[in-house]
Structure 1
Amino acid sequence: MKISGVDIRPGNIIEYEGGIWKAVKIQHTQPGKGGAYMQVEMKNLIDGRKNNVRFRSAETVERIRLDTKDFQFLFRDGDALTFMDKDNYEQITLDAGILGDAAEFLQDGMDVVMELYDERPISVELPSQIEATIVEADAVVKGQTASSSYKPAILDNGVRVMVPPHIGAGTKIVVDVYERTYVKRAD
């Protein structure tokens, strides 16, 4: 489906110069002289390259719809991640780089959504929030105000997050996977 260059929105998947790109950030600019344009920061979904491109309103790009499929994460072997298709139980192994920093939050048996282009995996989307246990938390510094004081803590997967002072080691919490922030105490 063709769309105008100024209609690109963050999250759109487009075909540009023979590659598959995801719009990460956009900025609409109207200079005093000349026509308006859309400055788009894009990431190549095949090789991870980033690019900044200006699109004028007269330019069109092909917007691509990716197929999505439910998979289950099975295990990690070094940088190789193995997933199982929940429909036909076929296994697929991908490089951990496809997930970026979110790979640290993968848990055995976790359900994920894989985006495919021509039956080829392009990206893997984890649940936005997961439960994790704190294994180590710094002691509260006496005299700090409760409103703005957060302390560093290490989760069972090795990720460091900032938590409120009342949260200690052994506590189960809910963490935002993509922001890497404390959300709430788990029930």
Structure 2
Amino acid sequence: MAALIDAIDVKRKMYFEFENTPYYCLDVEVSTPTARGGQTLVRLKMRNLLTRAVFDKTFKAGEKFKEPDLETVEASYLYSDGDASHFMDQESFEQIELTPEKLGDAQLFLTEGMIIKIDKFNGNPIGIQLPEKVELKVAYTEPGARGNTASGAVTKHARLETGLEVKVPFFVEEGETVKIYTETREFAGRA
């Protein structure tokens, strides 16, 4: 049987199962009452790993959670069609399909052959983990004009090969490959 975790022991970046659903803890706030006999409460900011929804919920310190049956496998991105995105498990070479709902906007960072991690709950794929940075080619951007820096406008919009739109420094040109932070969608440098 899986080990049980007390609500008071849940920490940031920890995984736990609540109502047969896996969650990821984003933040924890413990409030200890000053009155005698008052109960210690634990407020968790948590992400549902199946729906990607984020919300706060308060639990009593003694409430227990199961450890989720989570597994992470390395896979390479193959292609996307109208119904799903297709990946290949790097160990078993089995093909894994993920629907657009499970991928969310992660699709905007995927390029053919990219190695990512797929999260599985009870053996079924539920989502992916992207690397911290990805390299993408600039498909379109306006040319940077000299002297544009006086107004403080040192960035311009760029559309990348996957359709992702970001702000890049004015010296970046079409056809260049740039590094983008996947969490913040910010320019990280030239590749």
TM-score range with shorter-chain normalisation?
0.7 to 0.9
Correspondence for 1:154: 159
Correspondence for 2:71: 67
Moved more, 131-140 or 90-99: 131-140
Task: Name the amino acid aligned to 2:150.
Answer: G
Correspondence for 1:117: 121
2:112 to 105, 108, 115: 108
Q: How far is the alpha carbon of 1:105 from its aligned partner?
A: 0.9
Correspondence for 2:91: 87
Asked if residue 164 in structure 1 is aligned to residue 164 in structure 2, the reply is no
Q: Please give the alpha-carbon distance, in whole angstroms, between the structure 2 residues aligned to 1:111 and 1:19.
A: 27
Correspondence for 1:5: 7
Gaps of 5+ in 1: none
Task: Name the amino acid aligned to 2:134.
Answer: I
Q: Please give the alpha-carbon distance, in whole angstroms, between the structure 1 residues aligned to 2:50 and 2:140.
A: 37
TM-score, structure 1 normalization: 0.84
Correspondence for 1:144: 151
Q: CA RMSD in A?
A: 2.3
The number of residue pairs the alignment matches comes to 184
Q: How far is the alpha carbon of 1:75 from its aligned partner?
A: 0.7
Look up the SS of the partner of 2:183 in the other structure.
coil
Whether the 8 Å CA contact 1:23–1:40 is kept in 2: the answer is yes
Whether the 8 Å CA contact 2:98–2:127 is kept in 1: the answer is no
Sequence identity percentage: 27
Task: Name the amino acid aligned to 2:21.
Answer: G
Whether the 8 Å CA contact 2:108–2:164 is kept in 1: the answer is yes
* 1:41-60 CA-partner distances (Å, limit 9, x unpaired): 22322344444211232222
Q: Please give the alpha-carbon distance, in whole angstroms, between the structure 1 residues aligned to 2:168 and 2:32.
A: 42
Q: Please give the alpha-carbon distance, in whole angstroms, between the structure 2 residues aligned to 1:88 and 1:63.
A: 25
Q: Please give the alpha-carbon distance, in whole angstroms, between the structure 2 residues aligned to 1:25 and 1:78.
A: 36
Gaps of 5+ in 2: none
TM-score, structure 2 normalization: 0.83
